[in-house]
Amino acid sequence: MTQTTIFSARKIITMNPNRPVVSHVAVRDGRILGAGTLEELAGWGDYTLDDRFADLVVMPGLVEGHAHTMEGALWSFTYVGWFDRMDPDGGTWSGLKTVDEVIARLSEAESRTGDQDAPLLGWGLDPIYMGNVRVSRHDLDRVSKTRPVGVLHASGHILNVNTKGLELAGLLKEGTNHPGIPLGEDGLPTGELKSPEIIMPAGKHVGMDRAFLATDENGLRNYARLCVRAGVTTSSDLGQQLNDDLVAMFERVTGEAQFPVCLVAFRINFGIEPQELVDYTASLTDRSTDRLELGKIKVVADGSIQGFSARLQWPGYYNGAPNGLWYVAPDQLAEIYERALAAGVQVHTHTNGDEATQLTIETLEAALRKHPDFDHRFTLQHCQLASEAQFRKMGRLGMCVNLFANHHYYWGDEHYRLTVGPERAERMNACRTALDAGVPMAIHSDAPVTPLGPLFTASAAATRQTASGRTQGEAQRISVAEALYAVTMGAAITMKMDDRIGSIETGKRADFAVLQDDPTEATPESLKDIGVWGTVQGGRIFEASGI
């Protein structure tokens, strides 16, 4: 016999324009049977009334369109970032404001690590907030001279190691000549390592093993617990080097009875030729389940703006830094797009600088002439610096965008002062322009780059405040209602899942975020402070305090 549960709540926000607010929602077999009054829903037959949410507010489960499950794996290591941050257990780690505080926390972790040879790894360091002070191997030697110690920066693009770590990596020698390995006055490396081809081999000596770089079973479970605490019921994992082993691990863990979130795992374009990338990704599509969506590609076109590795159009960086790097060759990008369109595989592309955005737009336009597709929804991820003309073009080509609202908060001041200058800083992450140009839009955290939390992300898009408290780009603010749409339906649309998630209406999966207060009544500033009670995912109830 099929069981029907009808939930009552203080208020149920549906994101369904036909009936935006209801008092009850009926769930059967993990799906929404209907949303309306108790009397209307009773028409479906026998039911059990569940009033545990009577004092709470229910909205569609939040959808994170750009994050990495690596956020879960990182908590096996020591957090040393500038901002306060919540761990999967719900504990808050205070932000560290000086190098001395970073050394103190690492030393404390060191004293708890038994094995004298085991590496010690910290993550989240952001010296840009500490007057851009350079951390050296001598600083980290204060933590240990005998144990390898490493600290990964918040951007993920710089790794500091101590003397022991340098020695194990074979880098403690004079005469090194590499732009990614700065030297000290003594002619030896300072311990700061800057490029992926240096960081990867050195990193494994300080604990950056596979579990750190990709994710492991516990990392996935920890990530899922963070999702419950943030009200997230569906999250992308935007870029894994998926292979049969990793896919099997995802299947196993997401298939556990109490796994509380649906993951959308994208295959990244690194280390694989375009044809194999598209063929392999297409072959995964049929392995999708209710809690694991497969069959999508992530391509990285350029680097990061604050790392000066993004590709900018003229006149380039405000501080005169040379233009950034292409992470994919233009002819490879064209081949991936053409093959993916032909195979019906969706591609999300990381672009930060406006030159990278322009390349992807032109490449896609040419590919579409060869392989017309009226609903490809190729999505630009971050797309931080796009101009109004680029958004207009994206709209006409049927593209979607996922803008980095959190970035505007965390690094907006640096963009204004240093990277792109005042004028272009005001147009970064241009939510208003995207919506006005008719481009379907999501907004994101890119966790672990910034913390997972769509209500914070929505707040950031609505206020456009930077960390110093300035409103940067008043004209690009969006309303609370638009921001809430972006973190539910908007993100669902960019991942082609809007037929299944994103709103509370008949036929969709029973995915809810359960909140302490009404987000539609919140101000742009107070939206981020609304407490999350937990989630309902596929009809299963997950309370954050017990997760």
Q: Which residues bind Zn ion (CB under 5 A)?
A: 446
Nearest distance from residue 300's CB to Zn ion, in Å? 9
Of the pair 219, 395, the CB lying nearest Zn ion is at 219
Q: Which is nearer to Zn ion, 144 or 349 (CB)?
A: 349
When the beta carbons of 354 and 446 are compared against Zn ion, the nearer one is 446
Q: How far is the CB of 238 from Zn ion (least distance, A)?
A: 5
Tell me the C-alpha distance between 29 and 226, whole Å: 25
**Residue 426 or 446 with smaller CB distance to Zn ion:** 446
CB 447, min distance to Zn ion, A: 8
The three-state secondary structure class of 101 is helix
Rounded distance between C-alpha atoms, residue 46 and residue 42, angstroms: 7
Q: How far apart are CA 319 and CA 28, in angstroms?
A: 58
**Nearest CB to Zn ion, comparing residues 216 and 446:** 446
Cα 47 to Cα 369: distance, rounded to the nearest angstrom: 53
Instruction: Tell how far CA 327 is from the center of its chain.
Output: 19
Q: Cβ 494 to Zn ion, closest distance in Å?
A: 14
| Comparison of 126 and 139: residue with beta carbon closer to Zn ion | 126
371 DSSP 8-state letter: S
**Helix/strand/coil for 7:** strand
Given the complex with Zn ion, which of 407 and 509 has the nearer CB atom? 407
Whose Cβ is closer to Zn ion: residue 348's or residue 496's?
348
Query: Is-contact 439 403, C-beta < 8 A?
Result: no
Query: What would the two tokens of residue 246 be?
Result: 């990793």
Is there a cis peptide before residue 448, judged by omega within 30 degrees of 0?
yes
Contact at 8 Å (CB) between 278 and 343?
A: yes
Is residue 452 classed exposed, middle or buried when 0-12, 13-18 and 19+ CB atoms within 10 A define those classes? buried
The whole-angstrom separation of Cα 205 and Cα 119 is: 7
* Cα separation values, 430 from 210, 273, 427, Å: 36, 33, 5
CB of 429 to Zn ion, least distance (A): 14
Shortest distance, CB of residue 470 to Zn ion, whole angstroms?
26
Report d(CA 514, CA 542) in Å as an integer. Answer: 10
| Residue whose CB is less far from Zn ion, 166 or 226 | 226
Helix/strand/coil for 56: strand
CA distances from 395 to 131, 276, 379 (A): 40, 30, 11
* Torsion angle in degrees (nearest 10) through CA of 474, 476, 477, 482: 170
Nearer to Zn ion, 126 or 446 (CB): 446
* C-beta of 237 vs 498, nearer to Zn ion: 237
Find the length of the chain: 547
* CB closer to Zn ion, 309 vs 537: 309
Side-chain-side CA neighbours of residue 67 (13 Å): 37
Q: How far is the CB of 381 from Zn ion (least distance, A)?
A: 7
Smallest separation, CB 182 to Zn ion (Å) = 26
Structure tokens at 201: 């081999």
- If the CB atoms of residues 190 and 406 are measured against Zn ion, the closer one turns out to be 406
Q: How far is the CB of 26 from Zn ion (least distance, A)?
A: 37
- What SS3 string covers 236-273? EEEEECCCHHHHHHHHHHHCCCCCCCEEEEEEECCCCC
Residue number, nearest CB to Zn ion: 446
Q: How far is the CB of 10 from Zn ion (least distance, A)?
A: 36
- What does the alpha-carbon distance between residue 271 and residue 466 come to, in Å, rounded to a whole number? 36
Based on the number of CB atoms within 10 Å of its own CB, is 325 exposed (0-12), middle (13-18) or buried (19 or more)?
middle
- As a whole number of angstroms, the distance between CA 160 and CA 137 comes to 7
Q: CB of 507: closest distance to Zn ion in angstroms?
A: 31
Q: Is 176 left (phi over 0), alpha (psi -120 to 50) or beta?
A: beta
